[in-house]
Amino acid sequence: MSKVAVIQMCSGDEPGANLKRAAALLRRAADQGAALAVLPENFALMSRDAERMRTEHAEDPGDGPWQEFAAEQAQRLGMWIVAGTIPMRAEDPRRPASACCLFDGSGTLAARYDKMHLFDVSLPGRKESFRESATTTAGSEPVVAETPFGRLGLAVCYDLRFPELFRAMGEQGAEMVALPAAFTRPTGEAHWYLLVRARAVENLCYMLASAQHGSHPGGRESYGHSMLVEPWGQVVAECKQGDGVLCHDVALDNLDRLRSGFPALDHRRLPSSVT
């Protein structure tokens, strides 16, 4: 049995202040015995100017202050850390990847997942619209990492709406999925609980959903409601609003018994027309 943590933040446009707050919350998670902690999407910066934010702060793989921060915290605390998302330089310099980086307890990069599904939407009934593809290069492959406390899939925010990605992670053996997010308030109120719990139930896996909350520069509002959800769909811990740390014990022997006694994953059938 291992203890995992999800962290909720309200990041602003001062990276130094955001990192200081993230460090304090990671310390709180470690003090509660967490072996793994998940930071939210854009943990180091939520700016009113997304393009400038991403191009000015984009890092090269393995080199940059936000990667260094996460690696140092992991080593100092002896804890695995999912470093939310970090803008990582891509072939198009105007469109960095949104990289979700997993660091092990020695501070070594263990896995990197680039957000595959980009938030290009107009919110129904509101004037808000988003075009994430204008500032972000999409990833192309699911990622599942081996950890001492189970096989961990990585996904980011809008990925939550695409069950085929989670099924692909399940086929790679995922027992838990870390989901750094910054869901908008309207979409969060409509679908956050439904989708997080659905992904847990249909894949019989733990969901570690770490969210931004509150108001950010430029007027964007994030929904919050970070959650830890068990494979049967129970929300075992939730942080509705405010900064916070949620911890929960993950028991993979219980997961194995559940999957053995309720083998829905083995019963999956596809129509012959689906390849």
Indicate if 157 belongs to the active site: yes
DSSP string covering 33-66: T-SEEEPPTTTT---S-HHHHHHHH-BBTTBSHH
Angle between helices 15-31 and 65-77 (to 10 degrees): 20
Angle at 75 between CA 104 and CA 86, to 5 degrees: 65
Contact yes or no for 103/137 (Cβ under 8 A):
no
Instruction: Pick the catalytic residue from 101, 157, 205, 239.
Output: 157
Instruction: Pick the catalytic residue from 41, 59, 175, 230.
Output: 41
Instruction: Pick the catalytic residue from 115, 175, 205, 230.
Output: 115
Which residue is associated with the tokens 């811990």? 237
Which among 249, 188, 197 is positioned nearest to 41, based on CA atoms? 188
Indicate if 127 belongs to the active site: no
Indicate if 41 belongs to the active site: yes
- What are φ and ψ of residue 226, in 5° steps? -55, 150
Q: How far apart are CA 139 and CA 114, in angstroms?
A: 5
Report, as residue numbers or ranges, the catalytic residues.
41, 115, 157
